[in-house]
Amino acid sequence: MKIALGITGGVAAYKAAELVRRLQQEKLDIQVVMTRAAREFITPLTFAALTGQKVITEMFGPPDAAAANVESAIEHIAVAQRIDLLLVAPATADILGKFAHGVADDFLSTLYLATKAPVIVAPAMNVNMWEHPATQANLALLRARGVHVADPDEGYLACGMTGAGRLAAIEAIAQKVCSVLGLRHDFEGQTVVVTAGPTCEDLDPVRFLTNRSSGKMGYALAEAAARRGARVVLVSGPTDLPVPEAVDWVPVRSTEEMRHAVRERAADANVVIMAAAVADYRPAAKQTQKLKRGDQPLTLELEPTPDILAELGRDAVQKTSRRTLVGFAAETRQLAESARSKLARKGADIIVANDVTQEGAGFDTDTNIVTLFLRDGREIPLPKLPKFDVANRVLDHVLEIQKTSR
């Protein structure tokens, strides 16, 4: 994963070198961006040497190099799109003010406006500057906008005063980065099988039955589990999504293919998450030739597909496996009743249910509004969240179930 580390002009700028080292342990690819003031405290060469990458210092290149000028002028957009996180450490009162008010007069402040990646600021400054209502108001504004803050520590400050304003500990900043990026290692040693997307049931050589599933929820789960250290097998129906990094991707088309792939991979899995929108019915007889148009109404005979989740659930009942099983339920009515009945019927440990008629939930959205139904009777409604965050909440509950059933 790629992050941008913005370094601004404070004495704590020297600590950013240590921070780079610590973040490299998380296998992060780090693009350093330094403000002009930061370069008064520490040279770009230090960071170029540590990261092996050119440090970005200017919005515009040298005046004589016209081509380089154009390149650097649009570079903030390229960097903004490439990064998974923008971290600013140390963040001065000045940069907090710029971020809060949309001032974009150098590379870092422009990058902040141009990126959609999450942002963490780690403020460091003199105690009076920290406590000033202007700084606090700017921070409140940034927090309200979703910016994460690694709060400064209290202690002896470089200016000779004692109080709040010392850059948060390197480890605390690194932990914050891991938590925002979902880089916990709590699934290390586990194999997680995730299914995603729709399945397609062929009617004849050119037509098929399918549904509107985009696969986004399943892909988010696969990515979240991989980032948390799991070995992930992603069994996916047809989708347009890029395959997440470090995931064993098994493309399938029909329910039968998905069933085969899941059963084979589930044998040594600790967790199976059925996020796929599996077709419930398939044509009873597949035509080998294209169906011809006629004048009469056409009736298709459909037969039920095998229920993959229920089959795995039966293994659990027969105690041939101790896998944690998670199912999904996309409903348009009677959410709780349907979810509870699926929980029992399919032998799942968790059913993640959503009402797909709600705005911001269901198919092809980047967010979801779900309620988790747990085997122990608990019902946990989650607010509207990005699918990646929903994925992490589901995984948190998987771990909790594993702990209590040990």
Instruction: List residues with catalytic annotation.
Output: 159
Nearer to ligand CTP, 124 or 194 (CB): 194
Nearer to ligand CTP, 94 or 349 (CB): 349
Near ligand CTP by CB under 6 A: residue from 253, 342, 387, 397 = 342
Strand, helix or coil at 183?
coil
Radius of gyration of the chain (CA): 26
Stretch binding ligand CTP (CB under 6 A), from 84-92, 171-179, 276-284, 368-376: 276-284
Nearer to ligand CTP, 6 or 362 (CB): 362
**Would you state the structure tokens that stand for residue 142, as one six-digit string?**
């940034």
Residue 362 C-beta: closest distance to ligand CTP, Å: 12
Please, how many CA atoms are within 13 Å of residue 18, restricted to the half-sphere of its CB? 12
Mark residue 84 as left, alpha or beta (left: phi above 0; alpha: psi -120 to 50; beta: remaining).
alpha
CA distances from 129 to 45, 102, 165 (A): 30, 20, 8
DSSP per position, 31-56: EEEE-TTHHHHS-HHHHHHHHSSPPB
Near ligand CTP by CB under 6 A: residue from 327, 354, 387, 394 = 327
x/- track of binding to ligand CTP for residues 75-94 (CB under 6 A): --------------------
What residues form DSSP beta bridges with 6?
33, 88
Q: Are 291 and 207 in contact (CB under 8 A)?
A: yes
x/- track of binding to ligand CTP for residues 225-264 (CB under 6 A): ------------------------------x---------
Q: How many residues bind ligand CTP (CB under 6 A)?
A: 16
**Would you state the structure tokens that stand for residue 347, as one six-digit string?**
């032998």
Residue 128 C-beta: closest distance to ligand CTP, Å: 56
Please, how many CA atoms are within 13 Å of residue 161, restricted to the half-sphere of its CB? 11
Largest CA distance in the chain: 91
Near ligand CTP by CB under 6 A: residue from 147, 309, 325, 372 = 309
Q: In terms of DSSP H, where are the helices of 304-386? A: 308-317, 335-346
Near ligand CTP by CB under 6 A: residue from 125, 147, 200, 308 = 308
Residue 339 C-beta: closest distance to ligand CTP, Å: 9
Nearer to ligand CTP, 91 or 329 (CB): 329
Residues that bind ligand CTP (CB under 6 A): 255, 274, 276, 278, 280, 305, 307-309, 327-330, 338, 342, 346
